[in-house]
Chain A
Amino acid sequence: MKWCREHWKLTVAVGVFLVLLVFTLVSYVNQGSDFWLGRRVQGAVAFVQEPVTLGGNAAATTVRGLFQFRSILEENEALKEENARLQKELTEAVLSQQELQELKTLSKSLNYVSPKDGYHYVSATVTAMDPSQWYSTFTINEGSQKGIQKDAVVINADGLVGRVFEVGPNWAKVISIIDEKNDVSFQVFRDLKLLGVLSGDGKGTLTGYMLDDQAPVIKGDTLITSGMELYPQGIPVGKIIEVTKDEDALLQRVKVKTAVNFSNIQKVTVIIAR
């Protein structure tokens, strides 16, 4: 005790270090579980961040408008929305007309309800981004009051963004697909029979493998979600930037650049299962 009193600064520093270490260990053990104080703090911070972000976005748009024509920006936004809509339509159209017809006939005879009918969508604004420079975790301004739940899928006009990993009444924390080690199952848009699995590689991109090691995938192929896991079918994931053969594991590995630019996300849509 005497030593502690004589070296009180060092003792305090070591004490704080140990407390923080305990926090880290506890949060590691209880990953994803609700933490009352954390939710309160997050709620209060989100309450302040939302107007600041909206003000900042408005100011940024205005400043950009000074250098570009405002009308071009509006046209750009409209085109983005149209592009997203057309992309969705195209994806649906590619799912073989005949196959679709057969499935519809079958579903009618079985009184089957389509999974797509089982979703509703909530639009949200990104109110805060992770400042760590590596992670693309962010907070949105909608939460459980709008029906958002943990693991709800988040997309934007470009494609798959990630999933909700923590939710409060009027905020939700979203973890991006590049930060996740969870698998995303995909199919190649050019040939929907080609399936594979992807996950974040810790370098800001996605890597994975094809289920068939002889699958004829090429650089530039667009990948969409296959609907086999958490993510509904038909959401663009990204484009293949590298295909390599892993002779030892007998796998065909792919490296994928995400369709979404994670550095500047402002609007997202949350897909909620009914």
Chain B
Amino acid sequence: MKYRYAIPLFLCAFLIQTTWMNHLTFFGKSPNLILCLAIMIPFFYGGAEGLVLGVAFGLLQDICFSVLIGPSALAMLAVGLLMLAFRQRMDWDSVFSVMIGAVAGTIAYYFILWKAIDIFIDGYSFLYMLKGLPFLVIYHFVAMLCYYFVIGRRAVKHPQDKSMKGGLIHYN
């Protein structure tokens, strides 16, 4: 994805995340839109854009809210690299891969962020972090799935595809 598309997406995600998301909580949690983009863009499009912007917006998030500047950006860097590695080894254009990407990206981000904060300041407990994780994984999977079906999907079934069921075409 080109920077001219990715930057506005990240900006919108950051603004919505920090301003409106407290109105859109489910079970006390809301999806992390910046993380969703940091997972999706490297995963669906490859390239360094998602990685670079993920790190930049992670840093912005730290500057705006955190006592420490860097942990979110570090976690975003790890997630971006992980997604690029996934893209190289997996068929990214399938729902199963999207699910694996969402689960791995979300868990990696929150584990690294929690650990990075925990090393420096006595932050939240591991169990407290784990408590909210299933909801976040589900939200991020749903968000990625929506993106995949609306914009991200590239493969279309071809009538000659052997795996396509009921693939008979009748010519008049």
Contact = CB atoms under 8 A, between A and B. Distances in A.
Interface of A: 13, 16-17, 20-21, 23-24, 26-28, 31-32, 35, 38, 41-42, 45, 48-49, 52-53, 56-57, 60, 127-135, 137-139, 165, 173, 175, 181, 201-204, 263-265
A232 to B, nearest CB: 24
Given A52-B19, A134-B128, 10 more contacts: A13-B77, A13-B81, A23-B70, A28-B121, A49-B18, A49-B19, A56-B20, A128-B18, A132-B61, A202-B125
Contacts of A132: 61, 65-66, 72, 113
B135 to A, nearest CB: 9
A24 B70 contact: yes
B123 to A, nearest CB: 6
9 smallest CB-CB distances across A and B, nearest first, come from: A24-B70, A27-B69, A130-B65, A23-B70, A128-B18, A56-B20, A53-B19, A60-B23, A202-B125
Nearest to B67: A31
Contacts of B132: 133-134
Contacts of A135: 65-66, 124
Interface of B: 15, 17-23, 25, 28-30, 32-34, 55, 59-74, 77, 81, 110, 113-114, 116, 120-125, 127-129, 132, 136
Contact of B70 (A20, A139, A264): A20
B60 A28 contact: no
Interface residues of chain B: helix, strand, loop or mixed (majority): helix
A26 B62 CA distance: 13
B25 A41 contact: no
Nearest to A173: B65
Contacts of B61: 130-132
A54 to B, nearest CB: 9
B54 to A, nearest CB: 11
A175 to B, nearest CB: 7
Given A24-B71, A132-B113, A133-B136, A263 B25 contact: yes
A202 B132 CA distance: 14
23 contacts: A21-B70, A21-B74, A27-B62, A27-B69, A41-B64, A42-B63, A45-B60, A49-B18, A60-B23, A127-B19, A128-B65, A132-B113, A133-B136, A135-B66, A135-B124, A165-B67, A173-B65, A202-B122, A202-B124, A203-B124, A204-B128, A264-B23, A264-B25
A264 B19 contact: no
B68 A131 contact: no
Given A27-B69, A127-B19, A17 B122 contact: no
A56 B23 contact: yes
A139 B64 contact: yes
Nearest to A138: B65
Nearest to B55: A16
